A and B are shown apart, each in its own frame.
Chain A
Amino acid sequence: MSLFKMTASTLAITAISATAAAARDNVQIAGSSTVLPYASIIAEVFGENSDFPTPVVESGGSSAGLKRFCEGVGENTIDIANASRQIKDTELVACAENGVTDIVEVRIGYDGIVFASDINGNGFAFTPSDWYAALAAEMPIDGAMVTNTNMDWAEVNADFASQPIMAFIPGTKHGTREVFEEKVLLQGCEDSGAFEAMVDMGMSEDDAEGACMAVRTDGLSVDIDGDYTETLARIEADTNGIGVFGLAFYENNTSKLQVATMNDVVPTTQSIAAGDYPVSRPLYFYLKAAHVGVIPGLQEFAGFFVADELAGPDGPLAAYGLVSDPELADTQAAVANLTLMGN
């Protein structure tokens, strides 16, 4: 009979814990894997320096994080969504449908996207046009779209050393891919005159843009759906490879990677902050204002995140590779006043 008693009591304990489970006293965060390291650095410092428990930070991607953010209001939903892009209108609509209407948008700084290759290989000084010529699926030549035949970097730009084209670019589920397409491929397409040629051929502007951003599928460009550690492993295995990385990842692996310049600008936190390096994007987090006062420490955490000591140019985030926002003071005021989106 003891077996039955044990079963009954364990099931009873589960039932009791079920009724009790709900309340939590820590901030819960989810979202972009690019923002994750910054959020965990701040979470750690926040836990050490305040009386509140250390927030729990999950990754999973900007879209997944914002989807969970928009699931509703209540202790069973996350308080903050990290995003490496701005929230979309469709996501705002989904949020509003579930009662998440009071959202505070916080821009924490900028992230640079860099092109890096094996430390012992050739160095490169790219322009966006080089990348377009190397990775486009089809290019307009003499009034017709022709499959890209460039197999070597020397064919792309006579100044480059001869090295087979092998690019490791972020997969389509990454926010980084969007930035790469818009700021590198599309830019290169326009700079090289290919965009104009396509429009002259009778393509609509939208179709031409799509053609500009279509990446070749013959194996010379590989989509990396994992994270930057996978890109690095691929470059270590194939030293001809050139990978797309976040600036912070490169800064932590400078003994293995050499970075390429873009338009003759070396990517550093300074050159990105000054706007000289072209490929960068803002990073955000979104805060559920309805949770302020319900979840202890939520507003204090957000304030901590954008404090000068942490997010400023001399803080730990900048040391890790975040380009600090020149308009940080406005962001600090928005967090202090809980300025909602749309107001």
Chain B
Amino acid sequence: MSTSKHGSLLTLDARTKKRNAAEKRFRAYGLGAIVIAVAALAMLLISIIANGASSFRQTYISFPVTISAEEIEAAESSLLKTGAYNKIIQTGLLAYLTERDLLQDTPEADAFGMISGEAGSTFRQFILANPDAAGTTFQLDLLANGRIDGYYKGRVTAETAALDKNVTPAQLELADRLAADGALVKQFNWDFFTNPDASDQRPEAAGLGVAILGSLYMMAVVLCLALPIGVAASIYLEEFARKNWITDVIEVNIANLAAVPSIVYGILGLAIFINFAEFNQSSPLVGGLVLTLMTLPTIIISTRASLKSIPPSIRDAALGVGASKMQSVFHHVLPLASPGILTGTIIGLAQALGETAPLLLIGMVAFVKEYPAAYTADAGLFGEASTALPVQVFNWTQRSDPAFVERASGAIITLLIFLLIMNALAIFLRKKFERRW
């Protein structure tokens, strides 16, 4: 048989080969794209974790201290109370070093410099909480200075210490002797999650407490406002509104708002909530309101999509057995659409949690040391100054002490963990409750 026009199915003709080759190339492009994306993500994660994982452990120095009632009284009556407590700590440290013969030829000032500037405040808080401690000897766990902490995290070496004005090689040797004696230990750093921010001189004491609380308050505001408003708007647009040019215009505008740069919402928030409504600057209330505006389009779009996916037969059946339009929506359509709505809301919240730009304009990039209360008579609901997780990262990357690089990366890891939990929850809810028609 001579070769026909169409040829055999078993031998590939030139055009089939060409098509197969094109498909192979396309697959290779796709794979390449994924490899590039994964490599970029891996690089990001590796650099952040390499920089930040060490922030979850912290170096402490522990030794006995004695304080008398007179010393407490004298300290409390001075201008710099924490300075006076520092002196007592130094006396205790010196006594301990002499007793264990650890000081050797290290200058005393160097030994004192190994204790964090936060120590005086820690000690004072302890004494105020335990007034009975006067006249007794007790063991104090104090933060080691950021450079000493850096020595145990590989950031500071004997070589860099020789050049560094804030640490000496003698201090590192003393630290090694203290570690061998068991007085210097590295522990899990719970304070990183509970402590408020600390000034540039005390990177070792800086924590995310205020930032986590502020982010939590803002998410509460966003959830309480964006979810009901977004769902109500979507139900009206999807189920009740007539389809005419006005609803078309609204739809185009909502889609457009979802793509507006977030800093625009910050400018709006500054003008409306702070200058016009006179809410407190730097407050989670204003932050939450601004993020609500930003999250609303996302929630409306996802809610409308999930309402659209409910088959009309559900509505028809409800109406057919005599339900009113509103009953059909609230008894049948909304419960079936709720997994999709929840997923959209959680993704919107996750987006809001990681947002920095609008918060820059409403004064949330600040040094805040006091934990914000959820409600006070003076400041109102969520009215006390606070920061948020992403702005704390921004804040720490601007500090001059290299120890803050580690803190900032640690804060990024914490933020990523929160985002991971929220996105995993969204996927879980979708998988568990989603119904296919």
Contact = CB atoms under 8 A, between A and B. Distances in A.
Interface of A: 1, 3-4, 6-7, 10-11, 13-14, 16-26, 28, 30, 33, 36-37, 39-41, 43-45, 47-49, 53-54, 56-60, 76, 78, 119, 227-229, 248-249, 251-256, 304, 307, 309-310, 316, 319-320
Interface in B331-377: 363, 365-370, 377
B285 A17 contact: yes
Interface of A, helix, strand, loop or mixed by DSSP: helix
A25 B373 CA distance: 13
A56 B368 contact: yes
Interface string B226-268: 0011011000000000000000000000000000000000000
Contacts of B82: 45, 48-49
Contacts of B367: 36, 39-40, 43, 56-58
Kindly name the residue among B202, B224, B382 whose own CB sees the greatest number of chain A CB atoms within 10 A. Answer: B224
Q: What 7 A-B pairs are tightest by C-beta distance, nearest first?
A: A20-B380, A17-B381, A54-B369, A21-B380, A7-B228, A255-B160, A57-B367
Contacts of A78: 281
B366 A56 contact: yes
Bin the interface of chain B by size.
35 or more
Given A49-B81, A59-B365, A307-B79, A41 B379 contact: no
B201 interface: yes
B398 interface: yes
Interface stretch (B26-34, B272-280, B313-321, B409-417): B272-280
A21 B382 CA distance: 9
Nearest to B286: A21
A228 B385 CA distance: 27
Nearest to B363: A58
Interface stretch (B16-24, B161-169, B170-178, B181-189): B161-169
A20 B164 contact: no
A19 B229 CA distance: 22
Nearest to A4: B232
A44 B283 CA distance: 20
Nearest to B383: A21
Contacts of A20: 377, 379-381, 383
Kindly name the residue among B120, B282, B367, B381 whose own CB sees the greatest number of chain A CB atoms within 10 A. Answer: B367
A21 B190 CA distance: 33
B400 interface: yes
A57 B330 CA distance: 48
Contacts of B83: 309
A252 B401 contact: yes
B399 interface: yes
A22 B278 contact: yes
Given A20-B380, A44-B369, A252 B166 contact: yes
Contacts of A310: 80
Given A24-B379, A309-B83, 6 more contacts: A3-B330, A37-B200, A76-B281, A227-B398, A255-B156, A255-B164
